Homo-oligomer: A and B are copies of this chain.
Amino acid sequence: MARSYGQYCPVARALEFVGERWTLLIVRELLLGPRRFTDLMTGLPGVSANVLAARLRDLEAAELVAKRSLPAPAASTVYELTDHARGLAAVVAAMADWGMTLLGQPATTDEIRGAWIVLALAVTTPAPRGADATYEFRLDDEVLHVRSHGGHLQPRHGPAANPDAVITMGPKTLAAIATGDLDPNSPQANKLVTTQGDSRAARRLLMTFSPIRS
Contact = CB atoms under 8 A, between A and B. Distances in A.
A208 to B, nearest CB: 17
A10 B46 contact: no
A95 B91 contact: yes
B11 A15 contact: no
B46 A7 contact: yes
A49 to B, nearest CB: 16
A6 B46 contact: yes
A113 B7 CA distance: 8
A94 B91 contact: yes
24 contacts: A4-B109, A5-B25, A6-B46, A6-B107, A6-B111, A8-B106, A8-B175, A9-B28, A9-B116, A10-B99, A10-B116, A10-B120, A11-B28, A11-B95, A11-B116, A11-B119, A12-B99, A15-B25, A17-B102, A84-B101, A87-B101, A88-B98, A91-B94, A91-B95
